Amino acid sequence: MIYTSKIQTDLLAQLETSVQHFSNEFEQAAELLSADPGASTLSVSASNAVSTAAGGDDVRLELSEDEEDQDESSELLSGQKAARGLWTFEYYQSFFNVDTVQVLDRVKGSVMPVPGRNFIKNHLRSNPDLYGPFWICVTLVFSVVISGNLSTFLGEMGHPSYHFRPQFHRVSIAAVVIFMYAWLVPVALWGFLTWRQGAERQIGGYSFLETVCVYGYSLFIYIPTSILWIIPFEWLRWTLILVAIGISGSVLVLTFWPVVRGDTKLMSVATVLTIVVLHTVLAVGCKMYFFQTAVHVPATMPPASHLNGQHTPLIHRQEGVRK
């Protein structure tokens, strides 16, 4: 009887200790949530919370599934991605890891530049992609070529001597020019900024992928512009060119000016001017080559004396044969 009562007393003591322990935990959690409502709590499993080993006590905390997913998401947002091999599919898949909402937001930012807003900082957010730039370049190639053919056809449709010939070779020319511009110019700019970063400590820099990404998205404005070039009015075409260059060039200037302004004044101005000039050359070159305006010179009849002079010997020769 005494032994039974002792066991009950021990059980009650252990139960009271457990209740006190859990009540302390709940009080701490309540204080934490009242101080910071967005804070996350750690769940400690009752069976695996404390494991006693020969060397001492070891406490193991287990995270819930939601907390693990949140931890992985924060890793991806901060740019800490697992290192993958260069020859693996996953390595290149990470460059196209964007959704429709992100692409539309970046396209919107490329056609609506706002002073003081950096395209890379406000739209890429340390997650540049190649999906948008690739399809923008492909779409621009076909829009320029198709619109150029339609413009030529509509302009020459009333002339009886004109025969329409689809100029498929222009697709190759447009692809080479646009893709070379979208890749080689960013490579040269990135290399130059990297070199200046080593020469001048105040010079910042973007990664190669970020530079290619901003150049690719900056070309989007030329797609609707090339479609509107079908309208056969030269003043309207040149106005559209100026508007497109102003919008697209503003995106590049607002993005790269914070990087180059720490350099010398001459080098900063020269870099920005080079970026704008190359962008202008691309737009004007596409307009001049793919949207050529044909000039028709009316055929003039030769003078009557010249005709008489040509036919007179023939008449004499024919008369001589008859004789």
pLDDT in tens, 45-93: 444 443 434 444 443 444 445 545 545 444 444 444 445 666 777 777 7
What residue ranges of the chain have pLDDT lower than 70?
Answer: 1-12, 15, 18-23, 25-27, 29-86, 158, 199-204, 293-323
pLDDT of residue 91: 73
The predicted pLDDT at position 23 comes to 67
Q: Is 205 exposed, middle or buried (0-12, 13-18, 19+ CB in 10 A)?
A: middle
Total length of the chain? 323
pLDDT score at 167: 79
The dihedral through the CA atoms of 155, 157, 160, 166 has a sign that is positive
Name the phi and psi angles at 195, rounded to 5: -65, -45
Q: Residue 234: how many CA atoms within 13 Å on its side-chain side?
A: 5
Task: Assess contact for 270 and 241: CB atoms under 8 A.
Answer: no
Structure confidence at residue 36 (pLDDT): 57
DSSP 94: G
- d(C-alpha 213, C-alpha 141), whole Å: 17
Q: Are 110 and 218 in contact (CB under 8 A)?
A: yes
User: Strands 56-59 and 50-53: what pairing?
Assistant: antiparallel
pLDDT at 121: 85
Determine the Cα–Cα distance for residues 222 and 59; give it in Å rounded to an integer. Answer: 61
Asked if 313 contacts 175 with a C-beta cutoff of 8 angstroms, the reply is no
